[in-house]
Structure 1
Amino acid sequence: MATGIATKFSRRSFLRTSSLAGGGMLIGFNLFTACKDTVKMPADISQLNYNDFNAFIKISDEGMVTLFSPNPEIGQGVKTSMPMLIAEELDVPWEHVNVVQGVLDTKNYQRQVAGGSQSIRFGWTPLRETGALAKQMLINAAAARWGVQASECTASQGVITNAKGETLGYGDVVNDAAKLEAERAAQVAANAENTDAEVEKEEIILKDPKDFKIIGQDIGNVDIDEIITGKPLYGMDYKAEGMVYASVVRPPSFGQQLESFDDAEAKAVPGVLDVIRIGDKGWSLLTKEQRNWTVKLGETDKVVVIAKNTWAAMQGKKAIKATWGEGTPLESTANHDKELLALLNATEFNTLRKDGDVEKAFKQADKIIERTYESPFLPHSCMEPMNFFADVTDSKIHLVGPIQTPESSAEAVAEMLGRDLDEVHCEMTRMGGGFGRRLYSDFVLEAAEISDAIRKPVKMVSSREDDMTTGVYRPAIKYRIKASIKDGQLTGYQLKEAAVGGNMYGLIPNFFPAGALENYQVDVASFNSNITTGAWRAPYTNFLSYAEQSFLDEIAEAMEVDAVQMRLDLLQKVKGTTDERIQYSAERMEDVINLVVEKSGYRTPKPGVFQGFSAYYCHNTHVAEVADVVMENNQPVVKKVTVAVDCGIVVNRLGALNQIEGGVVDGVGHAMYSNFSFENGAPKSKNYDAYRLIRMREAPEVETHFVENTLSPTGLGEPTLPPAGAAVSNALRKATGKRIYRQPFINDLMDTEIIG
């Protein structure tokens, strides 16, 4: 057996097995917490109770393997990459693997969430252990048949080999393995009074990375055939017998309340079945944590059109004549700007980190640089609008749809309807985009409340306009950064944040340059708003990276030093730190900086190419980027972005490249073009005719380079977005001579006719 990491398992708390009807074996693994001792494995896979186990391996007597993927698939590729971890240690050919989306397990599973680029990081060891133990069970069965020690056998590509060179396929011994496990379970039961009985312990060896056959390869998305042929995968595709469709009339402005409505014309629309009013359920009864995840979008009455199909529901919705009253003052972007500036100029702040004395450093400085950076609200722009299926009956609540937080959503539905959580069964579909929007379960609660009212299975479907005008937004934020220079050295650094809707998604006080300066301070302030704000791809850092990395370049310019070398010099001061608050690695950051400088030709740019640099750490991953800008028709054009990434071991290189390139293009596009504003509480943009996204012809080439190491993998869904805007901004400075202090950059670079 390959040498690697040795792990000892307590089988009683880790797995259950059973023979399958018709042959084969089902292995139920509990990845993070103990399985219930009383649970019995079903004899048929169709009888699986997902509340008893949270991961399964089904091995047929033909040697084919079915793996159940537990986390929501949002396009980040975990439905492919997480089963790869199991298959690697199970040691089966990837072409023998079939992947099935698991459902929510609220009792045993931890962090069944898509968010924060954490799925692979948290699953790295447990999922590999799952595959390794399954392989050992098969080896044990083969060894028993041969009458040899299991240590004399090895397994590779679904085939077990003994010292004589004899072989057996996994399918040949899978039924023997099931019987052996049943006998082992009986032995454990006989020793139940001794939980440390040796019969229950087994040492499993995880592979050394040099022996990986699947991890590190280019593996295609397991859903790709269904995606390109249009087979049902997404929430929009889901159908159930007797299902009706619902379209919700929500307040046109944030802060308004429903007073009355006329539904006569709506009921006359062909296909419309009914019009109801919702809002009497207990959204206000949700816990503080649940309310954070469901937002304030449910705290008003709404009108719902029930119909036979989506078209009829949406046409009926347009025919509703509703009267809305102003519950609270209606807000506009101009007022937000004034409020944010007032906060920046105020003296009261919540200090998140304070090292040394920045005020003293400022007083003693030879030179002070102070700049203010501004970002707008942004919608999430998911390709698949919000939708969800709910079927509420007296005995159960069946939920199906695209949600990043299935567990908290199920809990919120149970709380709202006053039901036991055990009655809620939640299935996850593939998601057509999320970017943080589907962390919030307001649309799930709407579907459940509607179904509870009409006692029919219903799918709530939003339109593009609904998503853009009645959703959750990246908060508008202003950053003010101040630095002091004394005797040619950077001596002080203060970062202030003023945010709409609170600082829940604001600053990270322990990222670079924290720890590199003796005098360093981070302060935050915020004001409440009717406009619902929340996580947007790479929360905390999506705009902060641009502000700080642009500012660092400006400091270097004022000090007349090389911007890259200045960062490297600051990192030297962090090496060997004992400050446990620091979250980034100076060494790993240095590695990505040196790699991107080398690969991009940053020191020797080609004639006519203006290069901008940035480096950032977020979501446990270190990234450095160089953007190439050229002038065409007297206008700057982003041609290429070179990226260096240290994300530890790359699990699926093809999937990793997709995530990196998508993050860069997303970061460049929103920094360059996207803007969103409000007038009297209502969004001024309702669809893409008035909201600018990057176009295909504007997407830059992305060249990616990995720092190769054998460290445990970290996130990739978000880390390449934050540095992209800064790299472009610093390149634009060289190309145009302009410093840009607000997003989108296009406002300061081009007129509407040129970019239209």
Structure 2
Amino acid sequence: MSNTTPSITFSRRNFLRTSSLASGGLLIGFNLFNACKPNAKPPVDISKLDFKDFNAFIKIAKNGMVTIFSPNPEIGQGVKTSMPMIIAEELDVLWENVHVQQGILDTENYTRQVAGGSQSIRFGWDALRQTGATAKQMLVNAAAVRWGVDATECSASKGVITNGKGETLGYGDVVEEAAGLEVPENVTLKEPKDYTVIGTDVGNVDIEKIITGKPLFGLDYKVEGMVYASVLRPPAFGQELESFDDTAAKAVPGVIDVIRIGSKVNELMGKDEVNWTVQMVKSEKVAVIAENTWAAMQGKKAIKAKWTDVSPLESSDFQDKKLMELLDGKDFVTQRKDGDVNRAFAQADKVLELTYESPFLPHNCMEPMNFFANVTDEKIHLVGPVQTPADAAATVAELLGRDVADVHLEMTRMGGGFGRRLYGDFVYEAAEISDAIKKPVKMVSSREDDMMTGVYRPAIKYRIKASIKDGELTGYHLKEAAINGNMYGLIANFFPAGALENYQVDTAFYESNVTTGAWRAPYTNFLAYAEQTFFDELAELMEVDKIKLRLDLLEKVKGTDDERIQYDPERMQNVIRTAVEKSGWGKQPEGTYQGFVSYYCHNTHVAEVADVQMENGMPVVKKVTCVVDCGIVVNPLGALNQIEGGVIDGVGHAMYGNFGFEKGAPTANNYDKYRLIRMMEAPEVVTHLIQNELSPTGLGEPTLPPAGGAVANALKAATGKRIYKQPFMEAPDFWKDTDKEIIG
């Protein structure tokens, strides 16, 4: 069934348009998420407008060229390409005649200018189509007026309007007339069968600039008179700045000044209602101001600081013990409870109970944290890579005691985010430094800064228990113990919720002074591995086929009236069967071992099969077959990039990612001690996209969580050894030791 809407009402208040007398073009502003405020009005005289006063709009020139402004932050997920593609489809223009430009933050007219949760396309789908269709109808109406015919006698395609007599006009020919007409209340959207832009492979709109080194990223941004800053932060979590000696730092050539910052943030944290992104900032710091980045960083190294222990300096052994105490304790919050799991366990013929463990993980963005700020009496100018620009702008305004209207924030392309740039600590630092020195400043972190003073995926332990009675699965109990909580908590309504009469999900956490937060595919990145390897072991205990076990459980969810259930059992069964077929499941030659996983998260259904071979006694992941149902695929080329990147990232972190603490300090500060997957270790990823006409869902995150589980199940097939702890390759000798049976 199609989710497209053939005819849709579009309020005038949700569609801004005005004529450009000076440029001879039509400017159309639009609300991406049906969130345009009723009082939003276009500027009276747009001849003075430089097209930066809206966060997203269409500009049509007299020569027919179209500029589409993309409003959401671009972190490599491709929205700067795919969102304009949706508009261009309904506007009916040739993609080669479209120019895409990054929009600025505009909280007055639009909402959810956020990069996170794989939700940009999902939330923008309807409004983006409406925007393009409305613009096209205005142009068609203008042409009809010129010809003196009814608009229903005209059609538009590829930027050209045609009437019943075969006469044609280009969009640019009627752009001025269109600006003077009423905005249509009702527009018709295309059917998917008629798409000419959506569903085609479109290259990244920034690719030429990326490969030729043109300015795009936050680190590229420069203005006249700008200085640079490097910030010295506490070396361990649980410490605060007591005092510092900056004599040696000021002697470093190029160093301009050394200042103490953080008091404004600490004062803000003391308020009852605080923006959630401030909470991670816990200490005053030292900022070194210099003529260039090198001098600033060398000056920072020369600072002699004294730090005071204000809370326990935690080590990984202590954290591990605390999590195990939580699992063994009773201080849980029940997220969902169906039936009576305890009764199911008491009546069971067999009970399987296993514990799974994961470490902290840093984000490892290619581009370190950085931001530009220029605080003046007139405005606060912010430029840089941030996933939550509206939150950052609002917090900076509160931090400096200014009106949020004073903040002008421009977004740059980001060299990676993965959740780290949801938190605006680096933005606040830049703003506070600029406010103190009264100069434009670029705050730049080093790789060591990012890894030592970051926001991490919390260490987590899961305990899963299931009961079997008369050959049937009768109960399922999942417990989570996480440091500081697992962001949004477990998704208690994901599979196998709804498939069992007795089902319970409990969570517990303890508060640590280590800052934790969202990490790519929050709350599911490790859970998928734990649950899906558990299902394989459960199938072995039940002596049933592991694929059939999943399909049979999904069958029980069909027709459910439980509105809490988010996944679609039919769509999940479809990706499972497709993955079995496309991967050659069970038909691989001798020496190739396979592991299967199916998973739903971020509104997308995924199934993956990993192929593993043993080389010199060590397991090697050769291939991952990935089947994805994400609805309509806007840009297949971009989709493949996201899918493959997610799979490889998932494999790499499950195999190698390990991060811990010793007396409050991270055990790794760069890649010489923190292991990432290498190019030669990246498996082949074979992708299959399920074709349907359902509205699109997320792709930036859903293929990462299943990857670790697929590899773990393949490793079991290859070696006979079960793994209950990540990373899998922490002890390479384990794989050569045939006497051992499990890790963890």
Question: TM class, shorter-chain normalised?
Answer: over 0.9
Shift, 1:175, TM fit? 1.7
1:531 aligns to 2:514 (yes or no): yes
Shift, 1:35, TM fit? 4.8
CA spacing shift, 1:752–1:566, aligned 2, 3 Å: closer
Alignment map for 1:74-89 (pairs within 5 Å): 74-89=75-90
Matched-pair contact (CA < 8 Å) for 1:58–1:67: yes
1:374 aligns to 2:375 (yes or no): no
Task: Give the Cα–Cα distance (whole angstroms) in 1 for the partners of residues 703 and 696 of structure 2.
Answer: 15
1:316 aligns to 2:317 (yes or no): no
1:463 aligns to 2:434 (yes or no): no
The residue that corresponds to 2:710 in the other structure is: 727
Task: Give the Cα–Cα distance (whole angstroms) in 2 for the partners of residues 653 and 504 of structure 1.
Answer: 31
1:249 aligns to 2:252 (yes or no): no
CA spacing shift, 1:228–1:142, aligned 2, 3 Å: same
The residue that corresponds to 2:278 in the other structure is: 294
Residue 43 of structure 2 aligns to which amino acid in structure 1? Answer: K
Task: Give the Cα–Cα distance (whole angstroms) in 1 for the partners of residues 5 and 144 of structure 2.
Answer: 21
Give TM-score scaled by structure 1 length: 0.95
The residue that corresponds to 2:147 in the other structure is: 146
Shift, 1:735, TM fit? 0.2
Alignment map for 1:702-741 (pairs within 5 Å): 702-741=685-724
1:44 aligns to 2:44 (yes or no): no
The residue that corresponds to 1:90 in the other structure is: 91
Secondary structure of 2:627 counterpart: strand
* Further displaced range: 720-729 or 13-22: 13-22
The residue that corresponds to 1:487 in the other structure is: 470
Shift, 1:23, TM fit? 1.6
How many corresponding residue pairs? 731
Task: Give the Cα–Cα distance (whole angstroms) in 1 for the partners of residues 211 and 48 of structure 2.
Answer: 28
Task: Give the Cα–Cα distance (whole angstroms) in 1 for the partners of residues 685 and 24 of structure 2.
Answer: 49
Residue 738 of structure 1 aligns to which amino acid in structure 2? Answer: K
Shift, 1:697, TM fit? 0.4
Residue 702 of structure 2 aligns to which amino acid in structure 1? Answer: P
Shift, 1:506, TM fit? 3.5
* Further displaced range: 430-439 or 54-63: 54-63
1:219 aligns to 2:202 (yes or no): yes
Secondary structure of 2:579 counterpart: helix
Q: What do the CA deviations read for 1:514-538 (whole angstroms, capped 9, x no partner)?
A: 0101100000000000100000000
The residue that corresponds to 1:672 in the other structure is: 655
Shift, 1:254, TM fit? 0.4
Shift, 1:99, TM fit? 0.4
Q: What do the CA deviations read for 1:250-303 (whole angstroms, capped 9, x no partner)?
A: 00000101111111111011100000111221444256775432342x221111
The residue that corresponds to 1:25 in the other structure is: 26
Shift, 1:34, TM fit? 3.4
Shift, 1:395, TM fit? 1.8
Shift, 1:172, TM fit? 1.2
Q: What do the CA deviations read for 1:636-680 (whole angstroms, capped 9, x no partner)?
A: 110000010000000000000000000000000000001001000
Task: Give the Cα–Cα distance (whole angstroms) in 2 for the partners of residues 58 and 45 of structure 1.
Answer: 15
1:126 aligns to 2:109 (yes or no): no
The residue that corresponds to 1:188 in the other structure is: none
Shift, 1:691, TM fit? 0.3
CA spacing shift, 1:753–1:530, aligned 2, 3 Å: farther
Alignment map for 1:345-744 (pairs within 5 Å): 345-744=328-727
Matched-pair contact (CA < 8 Å) for 2:14–2:30: no
CA spacing shift, 1:38–1:518, aligned 2, 3 Å: closer
1:334 aligns to 2:335 (yes or no): no
Shift, 1:85, TM fit? 0.5
CA spacing shift, 1:27–1:291, aligned 2, 3 Å: closer
Residue 387 of structure 2 aligns to which amino acid in structure 1? Answer: Q
Matched-pair contact (CA < 8 Å) for 1:278–1:304: yes
The runs of 4+ residues in structure 1 deviating greater than 6 Å are 751-754
Matched-pair contact (CA < 8 Å) for 2:19–2:176: no
Matched-pair contact (CA < 8 Å) for 1:14–1:35: no
Residue 430 of structure 2 aligns to which amino acid in structure 1? Answer: A
CA spacing shift, 1:752–1:406, aligned 2, 3 Å: farther
Matched-pair contact (CA < 8 Å) for 2:597–2:710: yes
Give TM-score scaled by structure 2 length: 0.96
Q: What do the CA deviations read for 1:475-494 (whole angstroms, capped 9, x no partner)?
A: 00000000111111111100
Matched-pair contact (CA < 8 Å) for 2:15–2:28: no
The residue that corresponds to 1:192 in the other structure is: none
Q: What do the CA deviations read for 1:25-46 (whole angstroms, capped 9, x no partner)?
A: 1112234223536543443374
Alignment map for 1:257-268 (pairs within 5 Å): 257-268=240-251
Task: Give the Cα–Cα distance (whole angstroms) in 1 for the partners of residues 117 and 272 of structure 2.
Answer: 21
Shift, 1:445, TM fit? 0.4
Task: Give the Cα–Cα distance (whole angstroms) in 2 for the partners of residues 474 and 288 of structure 1.
Answer: 26
Residue 292 of structure 1 aligns to which amino acid in structure 2? Answer: W
The residue that corresponds to 1:343 in the other structure is: 326
Q: What do the CA deviations read for 1:546-572 (whole angstroms, capped 9, x no partner)?
A: 000000000001111110110000000
CA spacing shift, 1:282–1:474, aligned 2, 3 Å: closer
Task: Give the Cα–Cα distance (whole angstroms) in 2 for the partners of residues 138 and 566 of structure 1.
Answer: 56
Task: Give the Cα–Cα distance (whole angstroms) in 2 for the partners of residues 650 and 16 of structure 1.
Answer: 30
Task: Give the Cα–Cα distance (whole angstroms) in 2 for the partners of residues 70 and 435 of structure 1.
Answer: 19
Residue 674 of structure 1 aligns to which amino acid in structure 2? Answer: G
Residue 163 of structure 1 aligns to which amino acid in structure 2? Answer: G
Task: Give the Cα–Cα distance (whole angstroms) in 1 for the partners of residues 735 and 310 of structure 2.
Answer: 37
Secondary structure of 2:576 counterpart: helix
Task: Give the Cα–Cα distance (whole angstroms) in 2 for the partners of residues 363 and 597 of structure 1.
Answer: 36
Task: Give the Cα–Cα distance (whole angstroms) in 1 for the partners of residues 325 and 5 of structure 2.
Answer: 58
Q: What do the CA deviations read for 1:584-622 (whole angstroms, capped 9, x no partner)?
A: 010110110011110001132222110000000000000
| Percent pairwise identity | 71
The residue that corresponds to 2:221 in the other structure is: 238
Task: Give the Cα–Cα distance (whole angstroms) in 1 for the partners of residues 41 and 209 of structure 2.
Answer: 38
Secondary structure of 1:513 counterpart: coil
Q: What do the CA deviations read for 1:135-181 (whole angstroms, capped 9, x no partner)?
A: 01110111111111110111000111111111111111112212x33
Matched-pair contact (CA < 8 Å) for 1:282–1:417: no
* Further displaced range: 73-82 or 138-147: 138-147
Shift, 1:15, TM fit? 1.8
1:167 aligns to 2:160 (yes or no): no
Residue 396 of structure 1 aligns to which amino acid in structure 2? Answer: K
Task: Give the Cα–Cα distance (whole angstroms) in 1 for the partners of residues 611 and 102 of structure 2.
Answer: 41
Matched-pair contact (CA < 8 Å) for 1:343–1:525: yes
CA spacing shift, 1:751–1:316, aligned 2, 3 Å: farther
Shift, 1:505, TM fit? 4.1
The residue that corresponds to 2:742 in the other structure is: none
Q: Which runs of 5+ in 1 are unaligned?
A: 185-199
Secondary structure of 1:207 counterpart: coil
Matched-pair contact (CA < 8 Å) for 1:369–1:483: yes
CA spacing shift, 1:252–1:282, aligned 2, 3 Å: closer
1:747 aligns to 2:716 (yes or no): no
Matched-pair contact (CA < 8 Å) for 1:284–1:299: no
Secondary structure of 2:208 counterpart: helix
Task: Give the Cα–Cα distance (whole angstroms) in 2 for the partners of residues 581 and 574 of structure 1.
Answer: 12
Task: Give the Cα–Cα distance (whole angstroms) in 1 for the partners of residues 21 and 228 of structure 2.
Answer: 39
Secondary structure of 1:614 counterpart: strand
